[in-house]
Structure 1
């Protein structure tokens, strides 16, 4: 796998799964190709080579350095997801102190509108509509990554236990809960799904599973039909909504980390920004000093 082909595949994933804009994709390409000019083949680069980028980029502003390092971290995570690398050398990259950008979010009303539209379309048991509803249930109801979702094998869906067996980044396996309503929709989809094969969401007319590109397209089309700006919706945004709304409901951050399949709790902590009002109210009502009035 050449660096040029790997970068092109990575950018295609960003466009399909996250809805990255053309300017964003161009910036990622510049950052990755710029790193390649310094250290050579990115696909084969070792931690020592990535560590040397700190010196090469020492004159950059912290925000610029953070952007370049973020591009490389996401690139190496992608290489691992695709099986093109077994290791991740990106921890050797410099870590500038900058605020991490907040994820795009969907409100409860927008999520409800998506589900109403999907449920109306699936009412007649049209296979493509039921499939879309099942995909939506698992994105928002279980917080799966797009890659994890589209590549689910049939064996991941247990007959009795309300859990899915998911293989995430780096081949790490975890179990994620599946709601009763999601299990009901999955049962409907299994009854309509084309016979044969070992994949839960097979592609049409060719071997393999539904692609991330097609999943992204279907969600944006659904958003448009539901009266929501299509550029607000993507598989990644629905995963963020899953995490945000669970945290709002009182979920423990460590539990959320497990559900999302994050190796580092710091990755999960990005979601704590959404619930500052609830946290303040919690301190005011539950802290031992809350029972004592000021001046007592």
Structure 2
């Protein structure tokens, strides 16, 4: 598993043993109640999955804790709108925030995750794609559109380098996911954008929404996003709550 997954799973096990002296079915039920009182459903299931993996790995007698069922939304929320995305690009360009100008363009043009984004190298732009390997040695190819590549070749800081990490911070070190998240919130305040939609995954959602509306091939989109199940990708067939509301106001006049 990835380093991040290992860290999250380990934290869950350590948290459990801070609360309870032994891993018993009774204590596992109490832990589940504790999680439900303190965390969102997705976090609850993540912690329970970690404990269940621990039980399986250690061959303990305790029964696995059942996951909680999460009611799936019929709408998408907290996605940057196309208008706000275009506005953000324009303001970043005007303020010569070139690293983040290209960074948000790459996320929105490829649907790449932030953990994958920071692994991009200068050479990947020259190639026009990046091959990413995940659990089980599965390979996914991220294509960089030609119009974005042409823009990179007009960026002096990019053409001055022949190798190394694609995005560097002001100290010349490779940019980090936490640094990206923090900087996007700063730009939200600076440009008067909703902070709720200014986070890395929002641009992955924007890519998916734009792609499905322009192409309609949900199977290809699932491959591009690296989804194991096409059911995960189907969420992008839905509209945002704001879009639903606009349609209702337009259509319903009785």
Residue in 2 that maps onto 1:150: 118
Q: 1:114 is matched with which residue: 68, 88, 91? A: 88
Q: CA deviation at 1:234?
A: 0.7
1:6 paired to 2:7: yes
Separation of aligned partners in 2, 1:54 and 1:136: 47
Q: CA deviation at 1:146?
A: 0.6
1:134 paired to 2:106: no
Maintained 8 Å contact 2:131/2:142? yes
Separation of aligned partners in 2, 1:273 and 1:223: 26
Maintained 8 Å contact 2:188/2:195? yes
Separation of aligned partners in 2, 1:116 and 1:234: 18
Structure 1 counterpart SS, 2:238: helix
Maintained 8 Å contact 2:108/2:207? yes
Separation of aligned partners in 1, 2:93 and 2:120: 22
Number of matched pairs: 219
Maintained 8 Å contact 2:129/2:141? yes
> Deviations for 1:2-41, whole angstroms, at most 9, x for unmatched residues?
xxx9359x9xxxxxxxxxxxxxxxxxx789723775698x
Structure 2 counterpart SS, 1:183: helix
Structure 1 residues 106 and 239, CA, compared in 2 at 3 Å: closer, same or farther? same
Maintained 8 Å contact 1:54/1:93? no
Q: State the Cα RMSD in Å.
A: 4.2
1:56 paired to 2:28: yes
Q: Equivalent residues in 2 for 1:44-193 (5 A)?
A: 56-57=28-29, 64=36, 67-71=43-47, 94-100=66-72, 102-122=76-96, 129-159=97-127, 163-167=128-132, 169-170=134-135, 172-189=138-155, 191-193=156-158
TM-score by length of 2: 0.67
Higher mean C-alpha displacement, 193-202 vs 30-39: 30-39
Maintained 8 Å contact 1:248/1:275? no
Structure 2 counterpart SS, 1:274: coil
Separation of aligned partners in 2, 1:242 and 1:115: 15
Q: CA deviation at 1:144?
A: 0.7
Maintained 8 Å contact 2:113/2:204? yes
- Structure 2's unaligned 5+ residue stretches are 1-5, 52-63, 245-254
Maintained 8 Å contact 1:32/1:68? no
Q: CA deviation at 1:136?
A: 1.0
- Structure 1's unaligned 5+ residue stretches are 11-28, 41-48, 76-91, 123-128, 279-296
Structure 2 counterpart SS, 1:139: helix
Maintained 8 Å contact 1:133/1:185? no
Structure 1 residues 200 and 242, CA, compared in 2 at 3 Å: closer, same or farther? same
Residue in 2 that maps onto 1:221: 186
